[in-house]
Structures are given as C-alpha cells and as structure tokens.
Amino acid sequence: MSTSLCDDFLSGLNAVLGGAAKPVALHEPEFAGREWELVKDCLDTGWVSSVGRYVDEFEDRLAAYTGARHAVSAVNGTAALHAALLCAGVGRDDEVLLPTLTFIATANAVAYCGAIPHFADSAADNLGLDPQALAARLDEIAEPVADGWRNRQTGRRLAAVVPMHVFGHPVDMAALLDVCGRYGLPVVEDAAESLGSRIGGKHTGTFGLVGTLSFNGNKTITTGGGGAILTDDAEMGKRLKHLTTTARVKHQWEFLHDEVGYNYRMPNLNAALGCAQMERLPEMLARKRRLAAAYHAAFDGKPGFRAVREPEGCEGNYWLNAVVLTEPDRAARDACLQAAADAGYQCRPLWRLMHHLPMYESCPHGPLPVAERLEAGLINIPSSAKLGGGS
C-alpha cells in the first residue's frame, strides 16, 4: 500500500475542507428556513398524524418540482418502492432485474413482494444499471411466454426492471427504456438519492411507469423519515394512495377496507418539515454543485483517483460526492478511509454488493465485473450542502 496514495487523498480533502470545523460528517441535514415555524404549526393545531394540510402541500410541491402528474408521500423510501412495485404488478415468485450495486432497500423492496432479485452489472461512468449489460443478460435468459417473458433458467416470470440513480447520478434512461421496451418490462425507478437530478431537463423518477424518492435524514432534503412515489398515470396514482392508506374505502364513519393495504402514509409533522425544506432546495443544490466543482478541481491532478461526475447531458444533484481509485484495491481503499477518519473526515466505502449478502447470494445474476471493481475502489467524501458555502 503506497503511503503517497493516502497522502494524495488527504490533500484533496484538505484543499476543499481544510477550513471546515472538524470532525466533518459525510452528510448532515440543514434547517435554516421555516422548519421550526411549520412544525410548530402542526403541534399548535394538533395535526401531527397522517392527515393534515402539509401532506397535501408537500405532495403538490413534489409534483410541481419534478413534473410528475401525481406524487404520493410515504413513511420512507423503502415503503414507497415496495408500494410502487406492487402497483407495477410485481408478485410472488416473480423475478425483478436490478443492479447489484445499490442500497439494500432496493433489493429488500423486491423481497417484500415475495419476488426474487436478479442482479445485473453497472456502468463505470454513472455507477447505475448498465443498459448494455442488462440487454446482454436478457438476451441470454429471457424467453417469451403467453403473459410476457420468463427466465428460461429458473422458469420464473420477469416482472420489472429497477434502475437506481446512484448518489444522484442519472442512469442512461433512454437506452434502458429501449431495452425494457423490447421485452415489455415496466420500469420502476429508484430515484431515492436523486431529488434535483435531471436528464435533458426531465427529472429522474419520471421516465418509467413509476418512480420513488427518499427523504431520510441524510438526503438532500429531509422529512426526518419519508419517501414519495411519482407517476403520470392517474389510475396508478389513485391506487398508490389507496394502498398506502391501509386500503380504506372512504366513508363517514365505517372502517371498510377492500384489500390488504399498508400503513405507509407520511405524517403531517414530517410533511411540514418537507415543505420548509423544499423552499430551500434550489439553494442547497447550488451549494452542492459548488462543492462538487471544488472536489473535481482538487482531485483532477491526482493520478490515483477519478472524481465521479454527472453524465453528459444530465444535471446531477451530487447528493454524495465520490472518488474512485484508478487501480481498485480494497486494502488501498481501506487505508484511505482510515487516514480520512484519523484526520476527522467521515468518508465511507460503497455498499456491499447485493449478491455478496447472505440473503441474496443465491439470487440469479449475470457477469458483474464493473460493480466488483467499483466496490473495491469507490470512496464517498463529505457532501453536506453547507460545505459548499452560504447558509
């Protein structure tokens, strides 16, 4: 392990963060607007649960900002993705294709449906599901049947494809939709990390049949815990709201439920926080882009590293900045992580790949060389909006 690599990593961080108070967290929420005012209004009026004006307002704000016709809020991003998959028709013993390079929630939401994750490789530039790798995998295993396509190796129905916009960097959705269109597979976008990211001006999460967002405490904006589902389909929007509200049929006093539903609605208290955060989203995105530009300048001259950038023609939110070792090596990666921790900078490696986890190691997958290399060499670096200046 070369000491110079760690030194170069620290010098890049110091060039951008050296003036910041230490320790420096990976990503912190920021409450500098009307958060106190709106949350206090919930407390003062007593509207703190899953009914209240801020729930409707937050959904309206999300729809207007993303360009989706319908936005349905949820208690968290995983619940949002679970509901989206169910409404897209994913059922027990189906297979759902998704990247092995993703957060655990993507695979877990598939498992909640009783379905089986089927892992595909990622693209080195945007870190997301690689359309070419997906096409090669489908060409290998897919065979037509009366109700669509099935995996000829397992006999299971192929039900959907779930791309995930890693760290807010958009997937090549045009190429992906082309592949999925050839096989008639619905696309459910996991846009949990990409609020504010766009492809040619169109917001992530609005390309497929349905998309989902997350507002966890470490996301670009937060509702504490929370998520949302985006769709342009009016009937799906109604079904999503029904399914996430315990499938209760409206009635003045009766408790009538017409199917198994889920208590997934976002509380008014959380939505109020989200409304205040949405007011400041453009400002926070601007500061995150300044921070990303500073990191790019700091690491561009270091031969051992590649800074991850938004794809051409896209506008990423730079939720989490990342650098990749040009020669991926776990020992070198971990040495850099330790050096950063010792210096007071909170950094982290990529998530463990899904097919390496005990509950998913027997799931089907194609060749995964790019994801394996990224896992061995990617490091996330501090990305809070406040680090980009301003307040």
Print pLDDT tens along the chain (391 aa): 468 999 999 999 999 999 777 899 999 999 999 999 999 999 999 999 988 999 999 999 999 999 999 999 999 999 999 999 999 999 999 999 999 999 999 999 999 999 999 999 999 999 999 999 999 999 999 999 998 999 999 999 999 999 999 999 999 999 999 999 999 999 999 999 999 999 999 999 999 999 999 999 999 999 999 999 999 999 999 999 999 999 999 988 999 999 999 999 999 999 999 999 999 999 999 999 999 999 999 999 899 999 999 999 999 999 999 999 999 999 999 999 999 999 999 999 999 999 999 999 999 999 999 999 999 999 999 999 999 986 5
CA distances to 369, 382, 387 from 292, in Å: 27, 10, 10
Same domain? 286 vs 268: no
114 and 260 part of one domain? yes
- Domain finish residue from 242, 263, 279: 279
Same domain, 379 and 254: no
**What is the per-residue pLDDT for 369?**
98
The pair phi, psi for residue 27, each rounded to 5°, is -160, 120
Residue 51 has what pLDDT?
87
- 17 and 73 belong to one structural domain: no
Please give the structure tokens belonging to residue 136. Answer: 């090669």
* Structural domain total, the chain: 2
Give the phi and the psi of residue 163 in degrees, each rounded to 5: -75, 150
Largest CA distance in the chain: 70
Instruction: Give one DSSP letter per residue of 20-44, joined into a string.
Output: S-SSB-S------SSHHHHHHHHHH
**Which pLDDT score, from 0 to 100, does residue 2 have?**
66
Same-domain pairing of 143 and 289? no
Kindly report the pTM of this predicted structure: 0.96
How far apart (Å, rounded) are the C-alpha atoms in residues 100 and 110? 13
User: Tell me, what amino acid is at 200?
Assistant: G
Nearest CA to 380 out of 100, 173, 169, 131 is that of 169
pLDDT of amino acid 28: 96
Residue appearing with tokens 């989206």: 84
Q: 289 and 266, same structural domain?
A: no
The domain that holds 11 is classified in CATH as 3.90.1150.10
Tokens of 3: 């000491």
Q: Is 259 exposed, middle or buried (0-12, 13-18, 19+ CB in 10 A)?
A: exposed
Same domain, residue pair 352 and 326: yes
* Among 221, 248, 279, residue at a domain's last position: 279
Q: Provide the domain limits for residue 292.
A: 3-29+280-388
Is residue 353 exposed (0-12), middle (13-18) or buried (19+ Cβ within 10 Å)?
buried
Distance CA 379, CA 161 (A): 27
Point out the domain boundary residue: 246, 279, 312: 279
Task: State the Cα angle at 386 between 293 and 164, rounded to 5°.
Answer: 65
Do 257 and 150 lie in one domain? The reply is yes
The predicted structure's pLDDT at residue 301: 86
Verify that 269 and 165 share a domain, yes or no: yes
